[in-house]
Amino acid sequence: MKVLVATEKPFAKVAVDGIREVVEKNGYELALLEKYTDVNDLYAAVADADAMIVRSDKVTKEVLDHAKNLKIVVRAGAGYDNLDLEACTAKGVVAMNTPGQNSNAVAELVMGMLVYCVRNFYNGKSGSELMGKKLGLLAYGNVGRNVARIAKGFGMEVYAFDQFLTKEQIEADGIAKGAASRDALFETCDIVSLHIPATAETKLSINYDVVNKMHKGGILVNTARKEVIDEAGLLKLMAERTDLKYICDVMPDADAEFKAFEGRYFATPKKMGAQTEEANINAGLAAANQIADFFKTGNKRFQVNK
Ligand code: 3PG
């Protein structure tokens, strides 16, 4: 049985070592394809794989067509918009994610980027503080909850809106106040941090109108997916409203245009929210263990294509 780890953006070595240990302990063989730049290398590597672990790597119908033995693909991470779920189902491949395993890493980056932003990107000029500011979390899942926990320590007033949770469910952990609606979250908060997945419904949903609801000096933080932003709308708005800032861990397609907003825009060169040793170990090992458990007991707890 062969388990392929195919990661264009590799895990830390310590995580790969851990994955290898889990795979070999269970009597399987590990194959490693890292930093590939040609999709043909992925096609070749997946040809005899029974299981595959990926990160944001695209698992398309074409990839699956080359994977004659594949029974399971695990996205070591939360968002699985990179997996063609329909094609997985059509091929009888079980698709899973590893929810929660890398969420603290993303949450810490949110706070790090926020400090960087309110201190004027460390340019030496007088900035501002996060204490007492209103932070709005759009979606209150694993990442949102970790951001809330840390933001509380900063003395921020935390609000959240999640279309799948009631106000009571949001407020049950005693950390965030539930906002009445998504619009209310943008109207109320000084900073809004996005934690929604990229779905047909959320793509382009963060647009001119909704961001324009933020009051003067608003900051939009995006560590989710670039696809949820209507970039043309946000560019137009930032040109009109010179008080707004956009910071993101998902470089927009229009990075060059956003760069014109000097001092109001920052993007990491490569998505790095989940790029910590701890998150790599947590998500990578969870993926390897889920594969072993699936083969041994048929456990499909984290299946996302059902
Ligand atoms: C996720 O959805 O888990 C994060 O966006 C991390 O993605 P990555 O594994 O490509 O860093």
Distance 68 CA to ligand 1 centre (A): 26
- What pLDDT score does 113 carry? 98
- For residue 94, the one-letter residue type is V
Cβ contact 252:267 at 8 Å? yes
Distance 56 CA to ligand 1 centre (A): 6
Atom of ligand 1 nearest to the CA of 80: 2
- What pLDDT score does 21 carry? 98
List the chain residues with pLDDT less than 50.
none
Distance 100 CA to ligand 1 centre (A): 11
Our answer on whether the CB atom of 75 is closer than 6 Å to any ligand 1 atom is: no
pLDDT digits (tens, 9 = 90+) for 265-284: 999 999 999 999 999 999 99
CA end-to-end distance (rounded Å), the chain: 24
What percentage of the chain carries pLDDT values higher than 70?
Answer: 100
- What pLDDT score does 119 carry? 98
- What pLDDT score does 101 carry? 98
d(CA 306, CA 297): 18
Pairing state between β 157-161 and 29-34: unpaired
Our answer on whether the CB atom of 77 is closer than 6 Å to any ligand 1 atom is: yes
SS3 207: coil
Our answer on whether the CB atom of 143 is closer than 6 Å to any ligand 1 atom is: no
- What pLDDT score does 285 carry? 98
- What pLDDT score does 169 carry? 98
Which H or E run includes 148?
helix 142-153
Whether the model pTM is above 0.75? yes
pLDDT digits (tens, 9 = 90+) for 164-209: 999 999 999 999 999 999 999 999 999 999 999 999 999 999 999 9
- What pLDDT score does 102 carry? 98
Comparing C-alpha atoms, which of 301, 30, 247, 236 is closest to residue 121?
Answer: 247
d(CA 193, CA 147): 9
- What pLDDT score does 93 carry? 98
- What pLDDT score does 42 carry? 98
- What pLDDT score does 263 carry? 96
Comparing C-alpha atoms, which of 253, 237, 290, 271 is closest to residue 100?
Answer: 290
Our answer on whether the CB atom of 105 is closer than 6 Å to any ligand 1 atom is: no
Residue whose CA lies nearest to ligand 1 atom number 11: 274
C-alpha atoms less than 13 angstroms from C-alpha of 190 in its C-beta half-sphere = 15
| Maximal CA-CA distance, the chain | 60
Distance 79 CA to ligand 1 centre (A): 6
d(CA 99, CA 141): 10
- What pLDDT score does 74 carry? 99
